[in-house]
């Protein structure tokens, strides 16, 4: 909005020229989203507490979690409000990719909100069914995938990290890749969200990484120099990434150990969905396995544990899945697990960045 209001004035006030630059708007979108979360956080936590939206803690979980009972949850509502407001303020609103990102973010927030609302407010012990949630996620991801494929400048090749020459063109089959990436990331972030700051830290790291990729993919000269797919107009999504990172930082202020609030499904589902959609738009779909390596490892630990548990009728690979519970039960203090997982996430992001140069 500010872009549309202020940039046209650059002919009389030359300082307003800065509104043209994606880098400038990405930084300010990030600061705007951060400030919204930071300033509104205490009020929001008080509201959640007054509405008694407190976390129910599973009895079979690690002992250390029992003291977290009643921590306000659904803090993701604030994150999504901050991301959406900052994005709408700073982007060029005629950019279709921004609307596709908002479609996934807000629809996934709606799914998560409904689930949380049924469990936390209506105090039902089950929210939406797993199948129902998955079906809705697939529908909105497929809609986003189809919209992306319909853009005249978007090609349906898939980028394979480290092998820049191999780019299989999937045609409409690309929608299936988009669905797998978006739905998979959404659920992997949700599984990771089990310790204070554990999910939001790597979300911030991934958002910053994709901010760089979005900027490069949307810049014809940089994209050609680095031999990556150029996606016309995708640079604007760097501003959304900035907003995501900023809102994440603002939320982390309150979610840092010991957490004053949790994000709930209304946060974890859309954050993962948004990262998946950015990966698709910037044509760095497979790279998300590296950028979001931590989410992948957490999801794999669940798949392996559940598979092994069923096959062996009750035996386990890990003390408990997802993986963060395994280390907790081994006796690592919660902050140690969290910070060490962040360190791994940063290392994975650096490896992902290196693919810009490696081929
Ligand atoms: C949600 N969420 C937390 C909070 C957060 C298939 C199975 C492995 C699924 C998995 C599962 O349900 N995962 C998704 C993980 C929950 O947090 C809420 O949920 C939101 C995200 N959706 O925002 O609102 C608890 O996590 C802790 N937490 C924090 N700090 C935070 O900032 O400490 C969350 C955010 C909170 C709080 O304690 O209550 C969750 O874990 O429920 N299931 C599991 O993760 C369960 N694992 C399991 O059953 N493993 C089995 C195998 C055979 C499947 C095994 O290994 O034996 C564990 N979850 C819990 N206790 N809480 C089991 C024990």
202-224 pLDDT, tens digit each: 999 999 999 999 999 999 999 99
In percent, how much of the chain has pLDDT > 70?
Answer: 99
For the chain, the 3-state helix, strand and coil shares in percent, each to the nearest 5, are 70, 0, 30
Question: Ligand 1 in contact with 268 (CB < 6 A)?
Answer: yes
Question: How much distance in Å is there from the Cα of 155 to the middle of ligand 1?
Answer: 38
Least confident of 61-70, 168-177, 263-272, 303-312: 61-70
Question: How much distance in Å is there from the Cα of 192 to the middle of ligand 1?
Answer: 8
Mean pLDDT for the chain overall = 95
Q: Tell me, what's the pLDDT at 122?
A: 73
Least confident of 229-233, 279-283, 304-308: 229-233
Question: How much distance in Å is there from the Cα of 191 to the middle of ligand 1?
Answer: 7
Q: Tell me, what's the pLDDT at 172?
A: 94
**For helices 130-149 and 265-281, what crossing angle results, to 10°?**
30
Residue of minimum CA distance from atom 27 in ligand 1: 194
Residue 72, phi then psi, degrees to nearest 5: -55, 135
Residue 158, phi then psi, degrees to nearest 5: -105, 135
How confident is residue 359, by pLDDT bands cut at 50, 70 and 90?
low
Question: Ligand 1 in contact with 234 (CB < 6 A)?
Answer: no
In percent, how much of the chain has pLDDT > 90?
Answer: 82
Residue of minimum CA distance from atom 61 in ligand 1: 61
Is the pLDDT at 42 greater than 80? The verdict is: yes
Return the top range by mean pLDDT from 118-122, 227-231, 304-308: 304-308
Return the number of other C-beta atoms located less than 10 Å from residue 223's C-beta: 20
Is the pLDDT at 225 greater than 90? The verdict is: yes
323-334 pLDDT, tens digit each: 999 999 999 999
Residue of minimum CA distance from atom 34 in ligand 1: 194
DSSP state of 313: T
Question: How much distance in Å is there from the Cα of 270 to the middle of ligand 1?
Answer: 17
Question: How much distance in Å is there from the Cα of 186 to the middle of ligand 1?
Answer: 15
How confident is residue 124, by pLDDT bands cut at 50, 70 and 90?
low
Question: Ligand 1 in contact with 74 (CB < 6 A)?
Answer: no
Instruction: Report the atom number in ligand 1 closest to the C-alpha of 320.
Output: 56
């Amino acid at each position: 909005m500010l872009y549309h209001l202020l940039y046209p004035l650059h002919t009389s006030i030359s300082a307003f020229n800065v509104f043209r630059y994606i880098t400038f708007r990405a930084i300010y979108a990030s600061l705007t989203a951060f400030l919204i979360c930071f300033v509104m956080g205490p009020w929001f936590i008080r509201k959640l507490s007054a509405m008694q939206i407190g976390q129910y803690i599973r009895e079979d979980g690690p002992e250390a979690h029992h003291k977290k009972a009643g921590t306000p949850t659904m803090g993701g509502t604030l994150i999504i409000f901050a991301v959406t407001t900052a994005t709408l303020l700073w982007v060029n609103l005629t950019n279709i990719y921004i609307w596709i990102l908002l479609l996934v973010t807000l629809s996934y927030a709606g799914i998560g909100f409904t689930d949380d609302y049924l469990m936390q407010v209506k105090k039902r012990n089950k929210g939406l069914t797993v199948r129902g949630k998955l079906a809705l996620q697939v529908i909105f991801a497929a809609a986003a995938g189809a919209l992306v494929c319909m853009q005249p400048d978007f090609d349906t090749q898939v980028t394979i990290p480290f092998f820049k020459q191999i780019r299989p063109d999937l045609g409409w089959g690309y929608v299936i890749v988009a669905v797998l990436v978006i739905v998979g990331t959404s659920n992997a972030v949700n599984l990771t969200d089990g310790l204070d700051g554990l999910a939001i830290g790597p979300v911030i790291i991934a958002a910053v990484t994709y901010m760089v990729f979005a900027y490069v993919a949307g810049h014809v000269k940089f994209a050609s120099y680095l031999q990556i797919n150029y996606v016309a107009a995708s640079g604007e999504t760097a501003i959304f990434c900035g907003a995501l990172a900023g809102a994440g930082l603002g939320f982390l202020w309150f979610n840092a150990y010991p957490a004053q609030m949790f994000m709930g499904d209304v946060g974890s589902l859309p954050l993962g969905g948004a990262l998946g959609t950015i990966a698709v738009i910037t044509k760095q779909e497979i790279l998300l396995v590296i950028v979001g390596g931590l989410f992948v490892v957490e999801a794999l630990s669940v798949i392996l544990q559940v598979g092994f548990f069923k096959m062996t009728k009750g035996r386990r690979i890990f003390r408990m899945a997802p993986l963060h519970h395994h280390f907790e039960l081994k006796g690592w203090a919660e902050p140690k697990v969290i910070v060490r997982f962040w360190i791994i996430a940063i290392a994975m992001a650096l490896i992902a960045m290196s693919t810009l140069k490696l081929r």
